[in-house]
């Protein structure tokens, strides 16, 4: 497996009070970014730029978010392909082939993104709210959240962001019980990958069907993240940055509680209800 972060040489430049500059050459830890090609029975489904680690969780979460599988029981095998080799002839672990049960079929090529998707973009093949609602099969349990809990959950997640502390360039996703108990947290250079990893973890633990859970992201609330939260049956999505208009529309249509800008003792509630004290 590739490393989560890598050391590179850099020059740190700082300006002094008198306007002069200091130049300090040193090693710096940066977040690793490598491609992961996900295949379904040998057919390439997508290639996404990700931080190596928890790739099998990522693949399960991605296939679930795209409506291609509903549970881990629909996957018989997931393995790295030996054909992906680097300059030294060793496996790069950048191609993962998933073998589903016979009832699972890959979507038509017109619904796939077969180009490389960078870590800032999603890999959602759906383009409309109606398509998302048609694919969703897990009911969302309405959940009223207290303002105190909303502000506390990003702080708990931040304590789990070990790679962010080292590199400053990686997103995090965390799944919480309604009482604030952290279930799982994952980091990845792509916010959508981080979400897929925690969803995949719950699938592999066979606990994704438990209602009333909360997805917390260190990123903005995009359409793709709301989609993933809805497909996984989460009751709420909390992010520390902004929400997009389409994300708000989708959350309201699905009955998902959506909170954004949850930082610095404030937040915006775009969908759902609060426990008012």
Residue 250's CB is within 10 A of a number of other CB atoms, namely 24
pLDDT value for 29: 83
Are the C-beta atoms of 229 and 223 separated by less than 8 Å?
no
User: Which has more pLDDT, 94 or 112?
Assistant: 94
- pLDDT tops 80 at residue 57: yes
pLDDT value for 253: 92
DSSP string across 241-252: S-B-HHHHHHHH
How far apart, in Å, are the Cα atoms of 216 and each of 35, 141, 194, 227? Answer: 25, 17, 11, 14
Listed in order, strand segments (DSSP E) in the chain are: 5-15, 21-31, 34-40, 43-50, 75-80, 95-100, 116-117, 171-176, 182-188, 214-217, 236-239, 257-263, 266-271
pLDDT value for 233: 96
Angle separating helix axes 191-204 and 55-65, nearest 10 degrees: 90
Going by pLDDT thresholds of 50, 70 and 90, the confidence category of residue 123 is very low
- pLDDT tops 70 at residue 115: no
pLDDT value for 33: 87
- pLDDT tops 80 at residue 277: no
pLDDT value for 50: 94
Least confident range from 22-26, 37-41, 113-117, 207-211: namely 113-117
> Which pLDDT tens digit goes with each residue over 163-174?
877 887 799 999
pLDDT value for 131: 75
Mean pLDDT throughout 217-242? 95
Cα–Cα distance for residue pair 166/168, rounded to 1 Å: 6
pLDDT value for 124: 46
pLDDT value for 30: 82
pLDDT value for 90: 67
Going by pLDDT thresholds of 50, 70 and 90, the confidence category of residue 223 is very high
Question: Does residue 121 carry a catalytic annotation?
Answer: yes
**Of 193, 252, 263, the residue nearest 224 (C-alpha):** 193
Residue 258, phi-psi category: left (phi > 0), alpha (psi -120 to 50), beta (remainder): beta
What is the pTM (predicted TM-score) of this model?
Answer: 0.85
* % residues pLDDT > 90 (the chain): 67
- pLDDT tops 50 at residue 183: yes
- pLDDT tops 90 at residue 136: no
Selected catalytic residue, list 84, 106, 121, 269: 121
Mean pLDDT throughout 180-199? 96
pLDDT value for 84: 57
pLDDT value for 8: 82
């Amino acid at each position: 497996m590739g490393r989560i972060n890598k050391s590179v040489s850099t020059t740190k430049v700082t300006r002094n009070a008198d306007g002069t500059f200091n130049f300090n050459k040193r090693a710096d830890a940066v977040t690793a970014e490598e491609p992961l090609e996900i295949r379904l029975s040998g057919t390439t489904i997508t290639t996404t730029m990700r931080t190596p680690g928890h790739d099998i969780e990522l693949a399960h979460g991605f296939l679930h978010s795209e409506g291609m599988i509903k549970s881990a029981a629909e996957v018989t095998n997931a393995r790295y392909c030996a054909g992906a080799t680097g300059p030294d002839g060793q496996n790069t672990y950048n191609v993962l082939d998933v073998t589903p049960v016979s009832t699972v079929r890959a979507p038509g090529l017109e619904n796939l993104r077969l180009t490389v998707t960078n870590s800032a973009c999603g890999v959602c093949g759906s383009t409309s709210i109606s398509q998302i609602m048609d694919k969703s099969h897990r009911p969302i349990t309405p959940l009223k959240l207290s303002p105190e809990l909303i502000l506390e959950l990003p702080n708990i997640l931040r304590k789990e962001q070990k790679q962010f502390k080292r590199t400053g360039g990686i997103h995090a996703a965390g799944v919480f019980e309604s009482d604030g108990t952290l279930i799982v947290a994952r980091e990845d250079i792509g916010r959508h990958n981080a979400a897929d990893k925690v969803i995949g973890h719950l699938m592999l633990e066979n606990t994704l069907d438990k209602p009333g859970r909360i997805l917390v992201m260190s990123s903005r609330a995009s359409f793709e993240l709301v989609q993933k939260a809805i497909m996984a049956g989460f009751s709420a999505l909390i992010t520390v940055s902004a929400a997009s208009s389409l994300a708000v529309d989708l959350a309201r249509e699905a009955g998902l509680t959506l909170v954004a800008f949850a930082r610095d003792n404030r937040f915006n509630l775009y969908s759902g209800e609060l426990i008012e004290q």
